[in-house]
């Protein structure tokens, strides 16, 4: 294998895009997807994302919200997750609302005053495994 292929494979593996066991990974994705479906059941879903984060790391998601519409944003994490946090921020990175409680079931409720792009910072401060599968779903009321 040439050097550029070795570097590409190393980058993909270190990024966490490849699970060590595809069956195990799918099990965690199904678990989180099931939790998101349960909290969003019967509601109008405007955004959903499932991903993986290394313990102690954060990921920022882009989400478009409409002014005057009440939203509830739920976060859920796999069985290894001990703590998951959500922070909703405006286009200038100012915090709008957050749930930083020491639990793995964060909920952010907010009615933006304007329509536009927002960011949702997802953090996994504590996980019993090195990586946790997480998901977020936004529902409009």
At residue 17, the pLDDT reads: 38
At residue 123, the pLDDT reads: 98
Of residues 99, 103, 97, 98, the one with CA closest to residue 126: 103
**Alpha-carbon distance 82 to 92, whole Å?**
30
Cross-strand pairs, 27: none
At residue 14, the pLDDT reads: 36
Strand intervals (E) in 1-141: 44-54, 58-65, 71-77, 81-89, 95-99, 107-110, 116-127, 131-140
β-bridge pairing 71-77 and 81-89:
unpaired
At residue 108, the pLDDT reads: 98
SS3 92: coil
Predicted model pTM: 0.81
- Residues 55, 78 contacting (CB under 8 angstroms): no
At residue 24, the pLDDT reads: 57
If one counts every other C-beta atom within 10 angstroms of the C-beta of residue 75, the result is 27
Contact partners, residue 16, CB within 8 Å, separation at least 6: 52, 54, 131
At residue 9, the pLDDT reads: 33
The list of the chain residues with pLDDT below 50 reads 1-22
**Alpha-carbon distance 140 to 69, whole Å?**
7
At residue 25, the pLDDT reads: 67
């Amino acid at each position: 294998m040439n050097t550029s292929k070795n570097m590409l494979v190393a980058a993909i593996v270190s990024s966490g895009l490849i699970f060590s066991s595809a069956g195990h990974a799918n099990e965690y994705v199904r678990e989180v997807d099931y939790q998101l479906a349960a909290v969003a059941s019967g509601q109008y879903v405007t955004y959903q994302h499932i991903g993986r984060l290394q313990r102690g790391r954060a990921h920022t998601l882009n989400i478009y919200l409409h002014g005057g519409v009440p939203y509830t944003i739920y976060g859920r994490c796999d069985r290894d997750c001990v703590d998951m946090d959500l922070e909703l921020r405006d286009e200038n990175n100012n915090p709008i609302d957050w749930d930083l409680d020491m639990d793995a079931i964060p909920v952010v409720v907010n009615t933006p005053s304007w329509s536009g792009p927002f960011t949702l910072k997802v953090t996994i401060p504590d996980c019993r495994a090195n990586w946790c599968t997480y998901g977020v779903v936004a529902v409009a009321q």
